[in-house]
Amino acid sequence: MAGTRRRSTERHAPRAGALALAAALALGVPVSAGAGPAPLRDGPVTWFADDARPVPAPAPDERGLVPYAVEAFLGRPFSRFWNPVRLVRSLDGDGPAHEALDINALDEVVDSAWFTNRIGLRPLSATELAEGAGHGTPLATGPDLSRGLVVLKAKSAGVTPGFTVRDGRGDVWLLKFDPPSHPGMTIRAGVVSNLLFHALGYNTPVDRVVTFTRDDLVLEGAITISLERGSALQVNAANLDSILAATNSRFDGRYHALASRYLDGTILGSFDDQGRRDDDPNDLLPHEDRRELRALRVFGAWLNHFDLKRQNTLDVYVGPPGEGHVRHYLIDFASTLGTFGDRIVPRFGYEYGIDLFPILGRLGTLGLVEDDWARLCPPPDLPEVGIFSAEVFDPAGWKPDLPHSGMANLTRRDGYWAAKVLSAFTADDLRVVLRQGLYQDPRAEDTLLQTLRARQAAIVGHWFERVPPLDFFVADARGVAFTDLATRRGFAPAGSAAYRYRLAAVDARRRGERGPWVTTAACRVELAGADGRALPGVPRPDTDHPFLALEVQLDRGRGWSASTTAYLAPASGRIVAVDR
């Protein structure tokens, strides 16, 4: 039926593998199905997936939370648990799944309708960080209050009230308030986390903190508000005042709310974290095999975004009918940085909503052994901050509220890539983003900055221990330079590492005899002299072995790391692949 999603599982691995290979080839991503890395080739590296081709608009499709939760808690984990292939793969420490399918020969995620490389590959200006999805447009400043905000819809049911409004430019926004018991907490966290996820590379709506007075809200025509038990009430000036007063969201005489601009295009519903959307010809890769979805386990751990369920995603058809394509969004970031609706729950991030093994552990100890997270509480004098701590934070043990098929497939290389992107944020970058939350107490901003930096350091340290952070290999006429990201970005002391390398002329299958190890203190390997001739000891590529392999390891006093190998095509001077 149109609009439904096929959910590939590990039980269908052979068929899924063949489909994924065909899909990756169609998208231009160089992969090899189960036979090792793709052969080397001397050509430009793929950086863009061809997944924005014109397609008919898919039918809107939204699956309910309860059926999704049942499958997330029971069906999918059961399938993964009893899959022997996953167990065997996990034994070597690389992770339970095959490598992601949307990566290029340099082990980077390609730009697509799902993800755009931003801070992971280039520094972002303060303006880009602050403006997020609205960068370079009037949307970056939030709703235009010059003609007031015309109320189009209103609601009072649920944890918090909200309004749909039209601003002076004609843009439509959803205004969301904090729970009255926690004024200033969720809306600020929502805006900050939205901007951070956008900087990471995800598609997000424009979310801003907006401040306004009662006079800025304009009633035109008959507007009804939904009440409990299905009843409705016509909104007038008196009950609008009552609704606003109940929000408990006034700061210095102005109301504060999160304004989320409605996305342009046709809303198709949420996307699943497993399988594909059959009625979207561009959606060829199983979602659990997309690195940017696997990496949500790392990014979610950083911001404690435990609510990364399907219902907080959105597929949108953008473009004229028949000429557009589907773009995939993450939405609703209010349950981050230790916040959650009208309650603050210490468990979030430490256990699934239903987590069998911790439950059995507590039963076995008769509840006498208390979990470390159970003692966490919000700062008593900072009402804008939730339970967000680095004290008992374990990057490897973080869990979302609902099990997530993409996160469950995270491999060693996926985790390293995510940590590498995360390591690019500086303290100044984070300060710029935090200021967009308009925290009223400067200590709240300082506390969140310290915690973000501490959790960032824990995550980066965890993954950089498992994959040496040797990256961004660059070739010139005389050699190859690389970057030790741990020292470059301040996560290891400068001068704390020694490096060693060895060279080999290899064929397209990476076969060739390695030379002896050479130790160096520099992140550069000289291959040729000033006259352009190869230095002594540098292998000479030939017809059968046209590529030069540079294998590098590092040592920070605990022994030599695993290898990172870059492949140079001397004929063109390109770095054509990187293996980890």
Residue 524 within any structural domain of the chain: yes
H or E stretch at 195: helix 186-200
Residue 158 within any structural domain of the chain: yes
Question: How far is residue 420's CA from residue 485's CA, in Å, rounded to a whole number?
Answer: 8
Confidence at residue 15, expressed as pLDDT on a 0 to 100 scale: 43
Residue 40 within any structural domain of the chain: no
Instruction: Identify the domain containing residue 513 by its residue range.
Output: 470-579
Smallest CA-to-CA distance from 195 within 449, 435, 451, 442 is with 435
Diameter of the chain by CA atoms?
A: 87
Domain boundary among 267, 300, 328: 267
**Radius of gyration, alpha carbons of the chain:** 26
Question: Is the separation of the CB atoms in 410 and 98 below 8 Å?
Answer: no
Confidence at residue 361, expressed as pLDDT on a 0 to 100 scale: 79
Residue 515 within any structural domain of the chain: yes
DSSP string, 390-451: STT--TTT---SS--HHHHT--HHHHHHHHHHHHT--HHHHHHHHHTT--SSHHHHHHHHHH
- CATH number (domain holding residue 178): 3.30.1010
Confidence at residue 90, expressed as pLDDT on a 0 to 100 scale: 85
- CATH number (domain holding residue 556): 2.60.40
Question: Is the separation of the CB atoms in 440 and 323 below 8 Å?
Answer: no
In eight-state DSSP terms, residue 71 is I
56: buried, middle or exposed (CB in 10 Å: 19+, 13-18, 0-12)? middle
Confidence at residue 317, expressed as pLDDT on a 0 to 100 scale: 98
Confidence at residue 2, expressed as pLDDT on a 0 to 100 scale: 38
Domain boundary among 216, 246, 267: 267
How many structural domains are present in the chain? 2
- Residue 574: strand pairing partners: 569
CA quadruple 193, 470, 462, 495: dihedral, nearest 10 = -110
Residue 446 within any structural domain of the chain: no
Residue 154 within any structural domain of the chain: yes
Residues in the chain, total = 580
Confidence at residue 12, expressed as pLDDT on a 0 to 100 scale: 40
Confidence at residue 501, expressed as pLDDT on a 0 to 100 scale: 97
Q: What is the mean pLDDT of each run of 10 residues along the chain (580 residues)?
A: 39 44 51 67 95 95 88 90 87 89 96 98 97 97 96 72 92 93 92 98 98 92 69 77 87 95 96 95 96 98 96 96 97 93 82 82 77 87 93 93 95 98 98 97 97 98 97 96 97 95 97 95 93 89 96 96 97 96
533-573 confidence digits (pLDDT tens): 889 989 999 999 999 999 999 999 999 999 999 999 999 99
Domain boundary among 267, 297, 329: 267
Confidence at residue 23, expressed as pLDDT on a 0 to 100 scale: 54
Residues 6+ positions from 435 with CB-CB distance below 8 Å: 130, 445
Question: How far is residue 394's CA from residue 387's CA, in Å, rounded to a whole number?
Answer: 15
Residue 239 within any structural domain of the chain: yes
Residue 119 within any structural domain of the chain: no
